[in-house]
Structure 1
Amino acid sequence: MPQKSDFYPREALYAQGGPLLYEGERLNEIAFPLGGIGAGCVSLNGRGALVDWEIFNRPNKGAILPYAFTVLWAKAEGQAPVVRVVQAPPRPPFSGQGKVEFSGIGFGVQREDGSGFPHLRTAIFRGEFPLAEITFTDPALPVQVRLEAYSPFIPMDADRSGMPIAVLRYHIANPGPAPVAVSLAANLKNIIGYPGHGPMVGREARKWLGGNLNTFVEKGGVRGLFFTSERVAPGDPSFGTMALTTTWPEVWHQCAWLRGGWFDMMHDYWDHLAESGRLPERAYGPSAEGESDVGTLGLTAHLEPGEEVTLPIFITWHFPTFIKYWGEPSCPCQEGCERPTWRNYYATLWEDALDVAQRYAAQEAYLYGETRRFHDALFGSTLPRA
């Protein structure tokens, strides 16, 4: 039997090695969690899509929030614009997956996740908790794109490590000889009223919606969209707020996509964005029964040759009331009893999703710096790679 030292040579134990990079088919099984400890989470998959929306106080693997994707418009001086969803191409089956209404075999890819729009060509994923990084490539694009995603994670600081926030930092560089204008359009649907389980699209999902309102806000160092509901009462487990914001100064917005039938809103969205790199301002009142709106926040920049910018997007949520959804109600009659509820700890620290974004923005350099410092200490050690 070989000696133990034969298994692990000294140089192997002390060698740091390079980072683990994932590409091609290896991207298919990645789901990197974003969201503070005890605050719920959404996951970033290997292609760059946001999946497994579990921000509603219960597990919900496989849940896809409709229209929660980001599009990049880039126009080099003297050239036609190039427009891409900031994700690697969708994975098969392309004939339909049959998970929700109107998405079975024969219906094609699910339009609600932007699958029908042009995507970037490839992605390389690097996941080193609490930081995820995706480097995208596309020969048609006049800029280079890298996404860095995280939520604050600072050892010995439970409150700041428990923020209900996903931070998406898009690093965009111009390696070419000509100036490039860019516009980054982040989309999010107001789904307040959703109970935290079940489909997020189709007729089944509509019964939770109605009275949803999207407004543009600029307050406390952030600007963007604030999502509320006039239908769901405070104290209800489905009550809460969401926000899509940034600290970037040059922005445009559309509070609500076109309210129309069939595929009108997606045609309207893409036609305007592809042509000019922005959407016209539009806002409606509270949504009708069974309906809700998608909003878009756009960030613009002008890059000279060799220049790079970081465009930050903050997705925040605040659903304060937790309901004991498992087991039986704690009363002898069983029928008609209300399940116990309690207030999430994070709801004692921040008033709503906009407050979360503002408080993060006020400490952004510190929160990112300390999270990065922990990451560098952990992954700069001589511990073997996982």
Structure 2
Amino acid sequence: MARDGRPFNGPYEGEYLSRVAFPMGGIGAGMICLEGTGALSHVSVRNAPQVFNEPLMFAAISFPGSDAGARVLEGPVPMWKAFGQPGSGNGQGGKSWGLPRFAKARFETRFPFGTVTLEDPKSPVSARITGWSPFIPGNPDDSSLPVAALEYELTNNSKKEVDAVFSFHTANFMATRSGGDAVREGPGHGIILWQPGPEDKPWEQGAFWAAVESGGDVLTDCALFRGGWFDTLTMLWNMVSRGEYHYAEPYTDGPPSPGGSIYAPLRLKPGETRTVRLMMAWHCPVTNQTHGGTAQSPEDCCEGCDCEQPAEQTYAPFYVSLFPAIEDAARYWMANYRRLRDESEKFANAFYDTTLPPEVVEAVAANLTILKSPTVLRQKDGRLWAWEGCHDGSGCCYGSCTHVWNYAQAICHLFPSLERTLRETEFRVSQNRRGHQTFRSALPIRPTTHEFHAAADGQLGGIMKVYREWRISGDTEWLRKLWPQVRQSLDYCISTWDPDHTGLLMEPHHNTYDIEFWGPDGMCTSFYLGALKAASEMGRALGDEQPLYEELLQKGKKAMESDLFDGEYFFQKVMWEGLHASPPRYDTPEANRLLEREGPKYQYGAGCLSDGVLGAWIGKVCGVPDFLDRAKVDSHLKAVHKYNLRKDLSDHANTQRPTYAFGTEGGLLLCSWPKGGQLSLPFVYANEVWTGIEYQVASHLMLEGMVEEGLEIVRECRKRYDGRFRNPFNEYECGHWYARAMASYGLLQGLSGARYDAVEQVLYLHPSVRGDFRSFLATARGYGIVGVKDGKPFLEVRSGEIPVKRIDYRPAK
């Protein structure tokens, strides 16, 4: 149970409802959030985040001829919106917040469905609003649609028959200052908000469609009152409050309508429930987005790769390849609504048919919403590309950053074909002839420049992930085609960071902390050993054994377990002299004096690093056979839990970015120095708390049988995201909906120990959970439930197929 009594994976109400905003939309297709009150916000449909975009857009219910009054179909507005938000100094004019609404709201979720319950003693009707968008594992295209829906279940709680009018109203939030905007009728009983793209700004083109299905009459109004001040909303509410409605065609003279409305009159018998469906779609086909450098010579391309630049000069979303216009997207959504809902619900039913702890289920499901956020893009040819997270008005840190996306474990299992496009981009597009990988891919995806360091953890982690994608897909031909570039990549890593073949990364190496480690360290060496092991396994399977990889693996294992282990945890041996690289020099004399006294800035040295054996976790969840002494790995994990997990951070000094976790909150620190030796300037994020690292450590602890220790970390993390001060569906780091948080998906494997190998067609089931249990499992060709019943392992396929020749079952100790 979370702090102050809210149960994990339970409903949000009262103060816990304050920050709830549940993303809806398709993978790489844009997002609208359903708030815990029933409001719509974070409207980000123009291929970029717009976190504070909360246009005038609401549904209402009125009762003609009754004194019950009209109400917005939302709960009370959270008071944090009243002051401190952009525009709040002028009273937030033009919002619907001042209109009557329901007295009480409650929110609960079964991803990809979020449900708001509204009640009010003054209203004869209660409402249950279910917001969703398609999410179907193994079907990436139908999971990438630019659509969302709200289903309003309206129940007459009175003893009399009730006449009511459901209505939906929206300003034309697609309009820009370029003119030409319009509101027109759309497919079904719908309206389209339209903005053409002027010749000098074609990316302003955009359309948004909304339609209502009620099982009865539906009328559209494309001619709202035009005027100044608050005229439009005032005249609109005058009509709504009287229970009036009408049909109106678009204006043919003067300025366009400032928005549109849809009305559905209803008659409800006592106790009767009617469902009104609000369907939405959007279409913004042109952008001005281009990120990253462009290859300048054949040397910037990998040998044997296609080095031609794409025809598109700017990013275009995948859905453009499916739908030439908004009308096409709308018609597809209407025609396939029931099928897409049934298939999404089938997934939800399987995912939640589990006995795993609720804090784990909550953490995994909450971060699947990242796939519906603007963090993820999918370009016109279907390839995936992503930010690390989202700023308020733009993406944050471009390029499917390899050292961040290392942690994310959801897409590879739920949509493995999309995950493989990331590997193909890394090794065949962003890698040059020397094997240097630019860890930030360009957009549109194209060969890029190679002017900055490679990222050791990102590039080496990618090799383990190639192994993972092969075992998940069972596609050895895919591996065979990528193998020359994998070898080239690993050979580059060896020659750059281990030129003397010690088995350790000796030379300065860039990593996910945005700095270089000088000298060998446990974290990046664990990546190195994992990549050597994975490459050895892949080479052997392809008949291309690499003796050097195995030799370096054995050397590195011995050195890491002796020279980088203090008897309790792995550390870094800081070195900056006697290397092939020149010693660092800094811009200021005081920094150079510090260098002379302590060595290079931004190291962790004798610290206990939470990511200290990250490569071993990546290897384990990827299915790479063990390559480090498990007893020493376990010892390190125990030390991380002992020293880095804090239940109260009040006495912890964090001069970096404190609001991820601070004050009386708890969390797992990135690093601590329990035995002394902290440098004056340790690595730049050392005192912070990142949810992605919390989850990878928790998953790793679980995989090694330390279940309660792992759960303790998960609980501390999710307590911070309980809805009071942070959105439970937006774990942030360097931006909103931060990709690293999808390490949470690894918690499923951490507890169930389930991993399906499509190459061998073997289901490995090595749970850390004792006794009988049930857990969700997704594979390339199907998904279902895996677990133990009456002491025996089982697999229950819910969708597709999962061919299993054998279950390798090892019960928990």
TM-score, normalization: structure 2?
0.39
CA change 1:95–1:58 in 2 (3 A) is closer
Trace 1:112-131 onto structure 2 (pairs within 5 A): 112-131=94-113
Cα offset, 1:325, TM superposition: 5.5
Distance of 2:274 and 2:354 partners within structure 1? 30
Residues 1:300 and 2:265 aligned together = yes
Cα offset, 1:280, TM superposition: 5.8
Distance of 2:81 and 2:352 partners within structure 1? 38
Cα offset, 1:227, TM superposition: 2.2
CA change 1:325–1:81 in 2 (3 A) is farther
Q: Which moved more, 1:241-250 or 1:86-95?
A: 86-95
**Residue 237 of structure 1: SS of its match in structure 2?**
helix
Residues 1:190 and 2:172 aligned together = yes
Distance of 1:93 and 1:162 partners within structure 2? 33
Cα offset, 1:318, TM superposition: 0.5
* Larger RCO (CA within 8 A; separation ≥ 6): 1
CA change 1:231–1:237 in 2 (3 A) is closer
**Residue 322 of structure 1: SS of its match in structure 2?**
coil
Cα offset, 1:193, TM superposition: 4.9
State the structure with more CA Rg: 2
Q: In the alignment, what sits opposite 1:255?
A: 222
Distance of 2:121 and 2:336 partners within structure 1? 37
Aligned residue among 280, 285, 297 for 1:315: 280
Q: Which residue identity is paired with 2:319?
A: Y
Trace 1:56-205 onto structure 2 (pairs within 5 A): 56-65=46-55, 67-74=56-63, 79-92=66-79, 96-97=83-84, 99-100=86-87, 103-104=88-89, 107-108=90-91, 110-194=92-176
Q: In the alignment, what sits opposite 1:241?
A: 207
CA change 1:143–1:234 in 2 (3 A) is farther
Q: Is the 8 A contact 1:186 1:297 kept in 2?
A: yes
Distance of 2:173 and 2:124 partners within structure 1? 35
Q: Is the 8 A contact 1:242 1:354 kept in 2?
A: no
More strand by percentage: 1
Q: Which residue identity is paired with 2:134?
A: P
Distance of 1:121 and 1:382 partners within structure 2? 35
Q: Is the 8 A contact 1:193 1:229 kept in 2?
A: yes
Q: Is the 8 A contact 2:197 2:203 kept in 1?
A: no
Q: In the alignment, what sits opposite 1:55?
A: 45
Q: Is the 8 A contact 1:68 1:188 kept in 2?
A: yes
CA change 1:209–1:170 in 2 (3 A) is farther
Q: Which residue identity is paired with 1:303?
A: L
Q: In the alignment, what sits opposite 1:40?
A: 30
Alpha-carbon deviations, 1:197-220, whole Å to 9, x = none? xxxxxxxxxxx2521111123x4x
Aligned residue among 174, 182, 191 for 1:213: 182
Q: In the alignment, what sits opposite 1:5?
A: none
Q: Which residue identity is paired with 2:181?
A: N
What is the percentage of aligned positions where both structures have the same residue? Answer: 28
**Residue 243 of structure 1: SS of its match in structure 2?**
strand
Q: Which residue identity is paired with 1:371?
A: S
Distance of 1:82 and 1:293 partners within structure 2? 25
Distance of 2:174 and 2:254 partners within structure 1? 11
Q: In the alignment, what sits opposite 2:412?
A: none
Cα offset, 1:144, TM superposition: 1.6
Distance of 1:340 and 1:160 partners within structure 2? 26
CA change 1:258–1:364 in 2 (3 A) is same
Q: In the alignment, what sits opposite 1:373?
A: 346
Q: Which residue identity is paired with 2:325?
A: D
**Residue 349 of structure 2: SS of its match in structure 1?**
helix
Residues 1:26 and 2:16 aligned together = yes
Q: In the alignment, what sits opposite 1:334?
A: none
Q: In the alignment, what sits opposite 1:357?
A: 330
Q: Is the 8 A contact 1:85 1:120 kept in 2?
A: yes
Distance of 2:232 and 2:295 partners within structure 1? 46
Cα offset, 1:253, TM superposition: 1.9
CA change 1:156–1:262 in 2 (3 A) is same
CA change 1:233–1:84 in 2 (3 A) is farther
Q: Is the 8 A contact 2:225 2:257 kept in 1?
A: no
CA change 1:280–1:266 in 2 (3 A) is farther
Cα offset, 1:329, TM superposition: 9.4
CA change 1:299–1:117 in 2 (3 A) is same
**Residue 380 of structure 1: SS of its match in structure 2?**
coil
Distance of 1:176 and 1:184 partners within structure 2? 17
Alpha-carbon deviations, 1:341-361, whole Å to 9, x = none? 132111110122222121111
Q: Which residue identity is paired with 1:374?
A: F
Cα offset, 1:20, TM superposition: 0.7
Q: Is the 8 A contact 2:212 2:278 kept in 1?
A: yes
Q: Which residue identity is paired with 1:70?
A: A
**Residue 178 of structure 1: SS of its match in structure 2?**
coil
Residues 1:229 and 2:199 aligned together = no
Distance of 1:54 and 1:286 partners within structure 2? 31
Q: Which moved more, 1:231-240 or 1:20-29?
A: 231-240
Q: Which moved more, 1:354-363 or 1:226-235?
A: 226-235
Q: Which residue identity is paired with 2:211?
A: T
CA change 1:188–1:329 in 2 (3 A) is farther
CA change 1:261–1:329 in 2 (3 A) is farther
Q: Is the 8 A contact 1:247 1:361 kept in 2?
A: no
TM-score, normalization: structure 1?
0.80
More helix by percentage: 2
Q: Which residue identity is paired with 1:185?
A: S
Alpha-carbon deviations, 1:9-53, whole Å to 9, x = none? xxxxxxxx9951001111112111010111010111111111111
Aligned residues: 337
CA change 1:370–1:231 in 2 (3 A) is closer
Distance of 1:286 and 1:380 partners within structure 2? 57
Q: Which moved more, 1:118-127 or 1:316-325?
A: 316-325
CA change 1:68–1:177 in 2 (3 A) is same
Unaligned runs of 5+ in 1: 1-16, 195-207, 332-338
CA change 1:270–1:193 in 2 (3 A) is closer
Q: Which residue identity is paired with 2:69?
A: V
Unaligned runs of 5+ in 2: 1-6, 297-311, 363-813
Q: In the alignment, what sits opposite 1:276?
A: 243
